[in-house]
Structure formats: C-alpha cells, structure tokens
Amino acid sequence: MTIRLRPHHLLCMLTFVGEGYNPAFVQNFESAISRIAAGNETIEIVEGPDDLCAPLLTTPDCHCNNASVADRDRHATDALGDLLHLPIQPKTQIKLDQQMLDTMRKAFAAGQIRKACVGCQWSPLCDDIVSNCFQRTRLLNKDTAAATNRIHLRT
C-alpha cells in the first residue's frame, strides 16, 4: 500500500509526537506513521493535499490549499531533493529506511532543511523535540535509543 504525502509532510513526520490540528487529524497521522514505521509502506510524493490532509479538507478553516502551504512544499522539495539526491516531485516513490531517516533528522536538527518551517505554528514544538533528540516522536523503530544517540552525537 502507498501513503501519499506532500513534500513538507516529509519534514513534519520527523517530529510528530501525537499533536495536531484536531483529533481526527492526529488519529490519521498516527495511523500513517504506524504504517511507515512498520517498514511496509511506500511514500508517494503528491502536489497539494495528501493523505494527512484528508481529515481537514471539510473544515471551514482548512489551510491545505493555501499559497503558504504550497510555498512550504516548494522549500521542502528543494531541501530534501538536495539532501537525499532524489527527485522530490509528484509521483516520486520513497521507501523510508533507517539511514534515510537518520540523514533527514540530522539535517533537520542542524537547520539545513527547515526553510519550509519558517512561520509554521508547530516550529516551537519541533524545536523542543529536536532539543530532546527526537525521543518522543512516533516514527522510531526498535533501535530508538541508538538512532537518537547517533543523531545527538553528530549535531
């Protein structure tokens, strides 16, 4: 099965700790992260609203189609494409592995790929998560301690 993600959500998943816009969004994000963490899911890059946006699309204050969100996607596309040496564009498929996750987290912690996060309401939470070596995040495998220690020691 495939999980459809817009580019900036590749950054959001790095620090997801179970908080979000509303309970339906959080539950949906939890489900997606569980599937990705299990290692059996492919991530497909999409333009515009994705599988994580689904619970918000019918709310009156839905921001998923705003120009500011498209700008976040553009910044994430550029940063992650350069970092991962992958084309981050619609229909690109990614199989997330521990090495890729470590690379992304290290760059996120160093601020190298966070241009997409400028002005995001969740940035203070993400800063806190980074300062605690990503330990509360949902997207961790059985080697959580080793992975977070590797990230902490490299930054």
Q: Indicate if the pLDDT at residue 149 is higher than 60.
A: no
More confident residue, 155 or 16: 16
Q: Indicate if the pLDDT at residue 46 is higher than 90.
A: yes
- How confident is the model at residue 142, as a pLDDT? 46
- 2-5/42-45 β-pairing: parallel
More confident residue, 114 or 61: 114
Q: Indicate if the pLDDT at residue 67 is higher than 80.
A: yes
In this prediction, residue 59 has a pLDDT band, given cuts at 50, 70 and 90, of confident
For residues 147-152, give the mean pLDDT: 48
- How confident is the model at residue 26, as a pLDDT? 95
pTM: 0.88
- The domain containing residue 145 runs over which residues? 2-154
What's the token pair of residue 131? 């300062």
For residues 31 and 1, give the distance between their C-alpha atoms in angstroms, rounded to a whole number: 13
pLDDT digits (tens, 9 = 90+) for 26-39: 999 999 999 998 88
Q: Which residue type sits at 52? A: L
For residues 21 and 69, give the distance between their C-alpha atoms in angstroms, rounded to a whole number: 15
Q: Which residue type sits at 71? A: D
Q: Give how many domains the chain has, as a whole number.
A: 1
pLDDT digits (tens, 9 = 90+) for 135-148: 889 987 444 444 44
In this prediction, residue 12 has a pLDDT band, given cuts at 50, 70 and 90, of very high
pLDDT digits (tens, 9 = 90+) for 80-123: 999 999 999 999 999 998 899 999 999 999 999 999 999 999 99
Give 58: exposed, middle or buried? Use CB within 10 Å, 0-12, 13-18, 19+. exposed
DSSP string of the chain, one letter each residue: -EEEE-HHHHHHHHH--S--SSHHHHHHHHHHHHHHHTT-PEEEE-SSS-TTTGGGTTSTT--TTSHHHHHHHHHHHHHHHHHHTS--STT-EE---HHHHHHHHHHHHTTTT-GGGTT-TTHHHHHHHHHTTTTT-S---TTHHHHHHHHHHH-
